[in-house]
Amino acid sequence: MSDESLDARLADVVASIPRGRVATYGQVAELAGAPRAARHVGRFLFHLPDGAGLPWHRVVNARGEIARAPSRRGSDVLQRELLREEGVRFDLNGRIDLADFRWDPGGAPARRRRSR
């Protein structure tokens, strides 16, 4: 198996992130079959075209913060706004509480916070 390239699997994983949830780079990498390739996830997203149709904004770093790219400057602002529209709440530090919004794949259907 794994005939497809890692990028193809990364795309599949990112596309699987449910709305209103976020996943860390390491998490996506692990699900794609490369537990230590968190950095590669960033590279993959960087190469990702605008019309890829992938929820790239749902991928954040392990601290629950939005990573910033040298060339994609401004994407961090857009990302934060998109997430906020999906119901993701940011704290005063501009960070996401991963304890509540981190995507739990395969497991339970992730109960929704009573933020409503």
Partner DNA sequence: ATGCTGACTATGT
Partner DNA sequence: TACATAGCCAGCA
Give the x-and-dash track for 56-95 against DNA (CB under 7 A): x--x-xxx--xxxxx-x--xx--x-------------x--
Minimum distance of DNA from residue 76's CB (angstroms) = 7
Give the x-and-dash track for 4-43 against DNA (CB under 7 A): -xxx----------------xxxx------x-xxxxxxxx
Contact between 112 and DNA by CB under 7 A: the answer reads: no
Minimum distance of DNA from residue 72's CB (angstroms) = 5
Minimum distance of DNA from residue 98's CB (angstroms) = 10
Q: Are the C-beta atoms of 17 and 103 separated by less than 8 Å?
A: yes
Lookup: tokens for 91: 């704290």
Helix, strand, coil shares, percent, the chain, to 5: 40, 5, 50
Lookup: tokens for 101: 């919004």
**DSSP codes, 8-42:** HHHHHHHHTSPTT-BEEHHHHHHHHT-TT-HHHHH
Report the distance separating Cα 81 and Cα 78, nearest Å. 5
Q: Which is nearer to DNA, 95 or 110 (CB)?
A: 95
Which residues of the shown chain bind DNA in the complex (CB under 7 A)?
A: 5-7, 24-27, 34, 36-43, 45-48, 56, 59, 61-63, 66-70, 72, 75-76, 79, 93
